[in-house]
Amino acid sequence: MPRQDPANGYNFLVSFVNSTSSLTTWLSGVSAYPMAGFSECSGLESSMQPEEHKEGGRNDTVLKFPSRVTWSNLRLRRGVIATRDLWQWYDGFVQGKGKRRDGLIVLQNDQRKPVRAWRWLEGMPVKWVGPSLDANQSRVAIEELEIAHHGLTVGASMSVGEAIGEVVGAVEAMF
């Protein structure tokens, strides 16, 4: 059996899709190519706080049961480029006209083969951070977008097409 090394965290793709579109429009918007090139993606987190129950007569233990799951916001960072797509998406919500977007994050190995994919549903931008500007530094100007969403699903060792198929299946289930 061939050795499987862990994937490096620097090779990933991010795609956005308008989650309020009809299925046909939605499918035409999905591609295997990133919609935006990001240098950093964080917030792939989920936690569940157990509900505790102190049962009468059992003084040696507290029973714990699963409760609601919470999802961290996704944080995407990239160098500032000429397009204002991230700002416009955020500003759409500021103006009361924003549309939620589903998305896909695909981690790739060094041969650019997908290793794992994370799908988020009905994301909305909740924070936009502009670049820190300093004439004494020669760093790339970075903007950041924070996205709240309705949950993540994880696919292991799938192609980008299979990951997109998972997103399509979730959308079809909503109709």
Domains of the chain, earliest start first? 12-45+72-174 (2.30.110)
Neighbours of 17 (CB within 10 A): 24
Name the band, by pLDDT with cuts 50, 70 and 90, for residue 174. Answer: very low
Does position 147 have pLDDT exceeding 90, yes or no? yes
In degrees and rounded to multiples of 5, residue 143 shows phi and psi of -115, 155
Q: What is the pLDDT of residues 45-65, one digit of tens each?
A: 999 999 999 988 888 899 999
Rounded Cα gap, residues 8 and 80, in angstroms: 24
**Torsion sign, CA atoms 48, 10, 105, 107:** negative
The structure tokens 């939605």 sit at 26
Number of alpha carbons in the 13 Å side-chain half-sphere of residue 93: 15
